[in-house]
Structure 1
Amino acid sequence: MSPEATCPRRCPWPRLQVWTWVEPVVASTQVAASLYDAGLLLVVKASFGAGAASNHSASPSPRGAPEDEQQRAISNFYIIYNLVVGLTPLLTAYGLGWLSDRYHRKISICVSLLGFVLSRLGLLLKLLLDWPVEVLYGAAALSGLCGGFSAFWSGVMSLGSLGCSEGRRSVRLILIDLILGLAGFCGSMASGHLFKQMVGGSRQGLVLTACSVSCAACALLYSLLVLRVPESMAKHSKAPPAVDTVSGTVGTYRTLDPDELDKPSVVEHPPSPGKAKPPKTIIALLFVGAILYDLAVTGTVDVIPLFVLREPLSWNQVQLGYGMAAGYTIFITSFLGVLVFSRCFRDTTMIMIGMVSFGSGALLLAFVKETYMFYIARAIMLFALIPITTIRSAMSKLIKGSSYGKVFVILQLSLTLTGVLTSTMYNKIYQLTMDKFVGTCFALSSFLSFLAMVPIGIVAYKQASQLQYGDITET
């Protein structure tokens, strides 16, 4: 007897081998990122805190003026820093995505991880050598020139999409996001305690930064020496399904899938106007919805650290770490939400549920006065991660597997570019309104989140029309 006959379950195992899992890279990278983000904010606050105190010690100032000046200094630093982080990947990220599609899927991941290590080394050297805070702009530029998060995450999404079928892709991608969230939660919870290991002087935060560098280096070594590219599930499919089997997706994406155009259909029907349309319109609407929603999320994420450091919350290092960890709990709740909602809702419905969740939480965040209110607002945002991940999953069902790297990196670069503009705009709005109504930015984010539902609703209407027409033709 052949080995296949004696061990019928042996065939699928090569696709499930541990070294094809990208989750360890995601987890280690996110722990490093959460430690770095907290350390960067606290180091920048300490750097500008000394300057603010000296500038106002010689002359009397109104109550709260030193804190406002410090807030403006930190905000201005992040405006330039986010511009560098967001714009420099535009020079290299698409090229890395193209190289990944043409030569090797790991190129964008490995090169971007090298940039992450260099940027965290920049913060470490700043603490060790007492360099000026402006040196961190150069560290951010190095990371961006290596592709930054845009190249890294597009590479991760490509590997995640290749290693599973369309029917499990939404769950697979949200599972990667879950790993990201759990790692970020652990890193944020520990960040405040690690930052306080060395008290006083310019080297406070040295232990925290060293841990961040170590985690980033581990991720780079794992991706170089251990990680392998999984085989595409498309190669193992014998025939195209007559109806899409995606959990929670009613109807078929078959007529919108470019991979299916060259395959014979099980039941041939004359081409209809609705089915002959290319998916460009739907992809464009998904892009618009993703960008509008990302504007809302990015603006909120950029303003929250400044918001919690000033009155009325005035958090310390440990409270800041706990608050950042609370933001990562949405990765867990969003994962559970996808598992439940995908059984009875379409992708577009799940996207809109997430947008409503975030918009409602951002609106409540605008009126937060106490710490417990902040955590209530965060709890309302429990499904905020579903939209972007589900949009990526929906796009992957409409394009060829050989184009994943380019399409995902274009989407990520679009989100990054709009995020840069949003960061600048929100920081300026925050500076202008923090004395009048500090929650203005959160109210604006709530409006944008609800506005992003419009293009997604159009996609849902188009898909429903196509399904209805398909049912008529089949009968």
Structure 2
Amino acid sequence: MKQLQLVEPVMAIYCFATFVSLPIIGQYIYHRMWQDEFNTTLTFNDNVSHCETNQSNPGYIHQKEVQKRASMFSTKLDLISLIPSLVMTLILVSYGDNHGRKASLLLPSIGGLITVAAYCSVSFFEWPLEVLFLSSVLSGFLGGFATILGGCFSYIADIARDIQKKNIRIAFIDMVFGVSSGISGITSGYIITALGFQWSFFIPAILHILNILYIIFILEETIKRSEFYQPVLSKEGIKELFSGVFLLFKHASCKKRLTIGLLLFAFMFFLFADFGAVNLFTLYELDSPLCWDPVLIGWGSALSTFCFVGSFLGVFFFTQCLKDSYIVLIGMASWIGGIVMAAFATTTVTMMLVRVPLLFSAMPLPVMRSMMSKIVLDNEQGALFACIACLETLTGSLTIAFYNSIYAATVVWFPGFCFLLSAALCLIPIGVVWILLCFGYQERDHILLVNEECSTEEDS
């Protein structure tokens, strides 16, 4: 069978399987705890939510207690897998620099299958929910979303050597991520309604199996193992696994280290501003004066996927005539315009139209990934994307807690405050990118840095 150098299907299948299972998992935990609390089963009927709204009713208090227990249980599941997942991301993605990229793609897919299989078993056999802690730890040690994200970007960096092609391929991966999340969010509700919880878990399980088969039999490896490589279980092999990110910065020139550091700072700060505000869209739309119903929220999520498509097209065309830094600045300006508009949106039409100025808002992250990838050597791509993926995961976790706290404190007097805060914070990465642009960050600097490293190695 002829093998292909197409990693995009891996990202698309994994993202859809993961994102379609998240709402199913969250609702299953809630329904199981409701069943334990009231000894009754919630049913679906014409998409109507059966919840108590009368605060004086004792059922309202019990309902809130179930929500609290479900939230705490889900948080514990996430936390016990977070640290193993981050450690394995650093190891597996860096491991790919010398031993191949497939491990960082295959193991997280197996972990995703184990997670879904555990929920399926708990649902079918009515096992205690505590069984899920074991599967969460096990899947964490096989890597997670950060691992497969770093693996996919490293794979693209291996095969896309041309500067413009690298921008486009990395932006396309981001578009696949966004579109998959949007489609899966819309379809998950229909899947639960049509199949129920027990059979719903089979769909992501089948997708993970297809992904595993694709990675093993169809996806071509980009890194050819050297005849002088160190076995993973040897002393030198283990040392190599843990030293990738450290050596990335240790062996770099001062200018290269400073450039990577500033780009990482800009990347994480923009992610902090972007992800936190996007995470609040649903709460903001549910609240007055918008008061959206689930249908409108679903359509809003669907329209948001066009931001990823528009950003990909923006990268595709802007790359032909603009430097990377200018593309990043255009994307950040797009984000500020859209999020400021959202802060003052009071009608459904206005909130829907917010997606228009946000059309290029997804450009900065893939382009900054590409910028950093162009600076480092070929055998440092995995270490770089492992570092980015771990920082991205940690930033996402901190962002949710920070923005939710701010929103809770300001929702009474001005619900849009968090959006204005996000726009203000976005000025910081704009300043950093502008500094890099003004002080000589150009494409020829990438080539110069790589040549300097190569000549140093040859001289030694």
Query: Do they superpose with TM above 0.5?
Result: yes
2: CA distance, partners of 1:186 / 1:171? 22
- 1:24 partnered with 2:5: no
- 1:197 partnered with 2:204: no
Gaps of 5+ in 2: 38-50, 225-252, 448-460
2: CA distance, partners of 1:139 / 1:48? 19
2: CA distance, partners of 1:310 / 1:46? 24
> Map of 1:140-219 to 2, 5 A cutoff?
140-167=136-163, 168-198=165-195, 204-219=196-211
> Map of 1:261-410 to 2, 5 A cutoff?
278-309=255-286, 318-410=295-387
Provide the secondary structure at the position in 1 that maps to 2:104. Answer: helix
- 1:224 partnered with 2:201: no
- Aligned residue type for 1:211: I
Q: Could you tell me whether the CA contact under 8 Å between 1:363 and 1:442 is conserved in 2? A: yes
Given candidates 78, 82, 88, the residue that maps to 2:84 is 88
1: CA distance, partners of 2:66 / 2:348? 22
2: CA distance, partners of 1:307 / 1:138? 35
Provide the secondary structure at the position in 2 that maps to 1:20. Answer: coil
1: CA distance, partners of 2:93 / 2:307? 28
CA shift in 2, pair 1:74/1:342, >3 Å? farther
Q: Could you tell me whether the CA contact under 8 Å between 1:42 and 1:317 is conserved in 2? A: no
Moved more, 457-466 or 19-28: 457-466
- How far off its partner does 1:338 sit? 0.5
Which residue of 2 is the match for residue 247 of structure 1? none
**1:56-95 alpha-carbon deviations (Å, 9 max, x no partner):** 564598xxx9998888777666655554554332222111
Q: How many residues align?
A: 405
CA shift in 2, pair 1:41/1:297, >3 Å? farther
CA shift in 2, pair 1:322/1:221, >3 Å? farther
Q: Could you tell me whether the CA contact under 8 Å between 2:16 and 2:180 is conserved in 1? A: yes
CA shift in 2, pair 1:353/1:420, >3 Å? same
Provide the secondary structure at the position in 1 that maps to 2:375. Answer: coil
- How far off its partner does 1:111 sit? 0.9
CA shift in 2, pair 1:212/1:434, >3 Å? farther
CA shift in 2, pair 1:445/1:138, >3 Å? farther
- TM (norm. structure 2) is 0.76
Q: Could you tell me whether the CA contact under 8 Å between 1:38 and 1:321 is conserved in 2? A: no
- How far off its partner does 1:308 sit? 4.3
Q: Could you tell me whether the CA contact under 8 Å between 2:100 and 2:222 is conserved in 1? A: no
- How far off its partner does 1:455 sit? 1.2
Moved more, 389-398 or 325-334: 325-334
1: CA distance, partners of 2:277 / 2:262? 23
Given candidates 5, 24, 33, the residue that maps to 1:39 is 24
2: CA distance, partners of 1:45 / 1:317? 18
2: CA distance, partners of 1:213 / 1:311? 39
- TM (norm. structure 1) is 0.73
CA shift in 2, pair 1:465/1:388, >3 Å? closer
**1:219-270 alpha-carbon deviations (Å, 9 max, x no partner):** 12211222112379xxxxxxxxxxxxxxxxxxxxxxxxxxxxxxxxxxxxxx
Moved more, 311-320 or 440-449: 311-320
Q: Could you tell me whether the CA contact under 8 Å between 2:100 and 2:223 is conserved in 1? A: no
**1:382-430 alpha-carbon deviations (Å, 9 max, x no partner):** 1122111111111111111111111110111112112222222223333
Which residue of 2 is the match for residue 438 of structure 1? 415
2: CA distance, partners of 1:122 / 1:55? 36
Given candidates 429, 448, 460, the residue that maps to 1:452 is 429
1: CA distance, partners of 2:33 / 2:423? 31
Q: Could you tell me whether the CA contact under 8 Å between 2:279 and 2:400 is conserved in 1? A: yes
1: CA distance, partners of 2:20 / 2:288? 24
> For the aligned residues, what is the CA RMSD?
3.7
CA shift in 2, pair 1:306/1:54, >3 Å? closer
CA shift in 2, pair 1:448/1:18, >3 Å? farther
- Aligned residue type for 1:143: S
Q: Could you tell me whether the CA contact under 8 Å between 1:56 and 1:66 is conserved in 2? A: no
Gaps of 5+ in 1: 1-16, 199-203, 233-275, 471-475
Which residue of 1 is the match for residue 458 of structure 2? none
- How far off its partner does 1:446 sit? 2.2
Given candidates 106, 116, 130, the residue that maps to 1:120 is 116
**1:356-404 alpha-carbon deviations (Å, 9 max, x no partner):** 2223322333344444333222332211221111111111111111111
- Aligned residue type for 2:98: R
Which residue of 1 is the match for residue 245 of structure 2? none
Question: Identity percentage over the alignment?
Answer: 26
- How far off its partner does 1:311 sit? 5.3
Q: Could you tell me whether the CA contact under 8 Å between 2:97 and 2:380 is conserved in 1? A: yes
- How far off its partner does 1:145 sit? 2.4
2: CA distance, partners of 1:132 / 1:370? 45
CA shift in 2, pair 1:142/1:371, >3 Å? farther
